A and B are shown apart, each in its own frame.
Chain A
Amino acid sequence: MAADKVDPIHQFHINKLIPIEIGGYDLSFTNSALFMVATVVVAAAFLFLTTSSRSLVPGRLQSISEMAYEFVGNMLRDAAGTQGMKFFPFVFSLFMFVLVANLLGLFPYFFTVTSHIIVTFGLAALVIGTVVVYGFMKHGLGFLKLFVPHGVPVFLLPLVVLIEVISFVSRPVSLSVRLFANMLAGHITLKVFSGFVVSLSALGAVGVAGSVLPLAMAVALTALELLVAFLQAYVFAVLTCMYLNDALHPGH
């Protein structure tokens, strides 16, 4: 038990709350699933309740909801144009989900949904899947022009196309690993410094005095993690917008 408390990896353990197994697959309702539900409920309830008065002059909370809405809206319009606005609900959901999941993860004892590669990869695959499916639906084989940039000399073309294909294929990987690694690293660091505080303060008066340093570090890191939580949600949403732009305008 004591080892668990100081073990920085312990927070990423997945515990089954309601075991479910269908067709040999373990589909249990775990703490991860619980926090996905919490994320969705918190985000949806916030957006729903703060806008329920529909005030013409918004209060603070309604302003936050409207700001988030317009923020993502402008981001998508800038990246993908007005045609891209059909993906607005998708990008807005992604942004809110990642942001709230990141922020919830900052609470002590809370599980961070986005610190698991499979979750971030699931979201990234959803984005790239949307891009590929919509790209082929809208442009047919013309979508493949995405891999053939304009104005490249013919003898360089095979190399450029190869690079473009690799860069496209690596997108879901980079998109998911970026978010996952940021959350994972941040939470491990936080846990390590907090662990120092606990271990040091157990050494008596000198230890308690010494633990001020890692405590200050943990506080500063919490602030940094708050920034990272927002920043990673933003980066995820911005990159999604840019990839969707490729689906809309593959010629560019």
Chain B
Amino acid sequence: MFVTSAFAQESAPAADTSHAATEGDTHSGTSVPAEAHGTFPPFDPATFPSQLLWLAITFGLFYLFLKRVVMPRVGGIIDVRNDRITQDLDQAAKLKGEADAAVAAYEQELAEAKTNANAIGQKANDVAKAEAETARKKVEAALDQKLGEAEARIASIKANAMKEVGTIAEDTASAIVEALVGGKASKAEIAAAVKSVAG
């Protein structure tokens, strides 16, 4: 690069002298109108028709291509993506709703299970209490019966004893009467007397 530029620099004076000639040469070769010679290129009206024509052709084709092919495609891609995102968000919302419902159902079941457990526990408790009660009552009844029997026996023994007491009293009374009075009192009178006293 340095070589070529150095070469260019060295040959510059030579080129300078022939500059006008070569420029005139190229211009005549490309048939640019004489008045355009030396014009600043962007302001050279000779190039305007050609540039406008080719601009119209290229830009026109570009516009048609973008309008017909590219833009529907890019727009389609973006629309599809937006649809997909909306759809996915909906799906996510739906799934979240389902999950929430599942949680609610689970909690309800848990609550029910708790209630059931309480009920079962209560029932078992009640049953156990009732059984204990019946057992107690049975035992009490048996005890009552035994008490009653014992009392009846006591009563009969007592009655027998009392009966014995009457005879003993009659015997004692007749003996006392004999000793005091010296006569024998009739058994019937004594029994009647004892009975009236015993009342």
Contact = CB atoms under 8 A, between A and B. Distances in A.
Interface stretch (A9-17, A163-171, A223-231): A9-17
A15 B51 CA distance: 12
Interface stretch (A89-97, A140-148, A213-221, A233-241): A89-97
Contact of B42 (A28, A180, A198): A180
Interface residues of B, number: 49
A245 interface: no
B78 A40 contact: no
B6 A44 contact: no
B66 A89 contact: yes
A81 interface: no
Interface stretch (A65-73, A102-110, A131-139, A152-160): A65-73
Contact of A198 (B5, B51, B53): B5
User: At the interface, is chain B mostly helix, strand, loop or mixed?
Assistant: helix
Given A16-B30, A119-B55, A180-B42, A26 B50 contact: yes
B42 A51 contact: no
B9 A2 contact: yes
A6 B59 CA distance: 32
Interface string B1-42: 010011011011001100100100000001100000000111
A90 B81 CA distance: 24
A202 B15 contact: no
Given A2-B9, A16-B30, A37-B58, A51 B77 contact: yes
A3 interface: yes
B66 A27 contact: no
Contact of A54 (B31, B48, B76): B76
27 contacts: A1-B8, A3-B15, A5-B8, A9-B41, A12-B40, A12-B42, A13-B41, A14-B50, A15-B30, A20-B50, A27-B50, A32-B50, A36-B58, A44-B62, A47-B74, A48-B65, A54-B73, A56-B80, A93-B62, A93-B66, A96-B62, A97-B59, A119-B51, A122-B52, A122-B56, A202-B5, A202-B6
Interface of B: 2, 5-6, 8-9, 11-12, 15-16, 19, 22, 30-31, 40-44, 46-56, 58-59, 61-63, 65-67, 69-71, 73-78, 80-81, 84
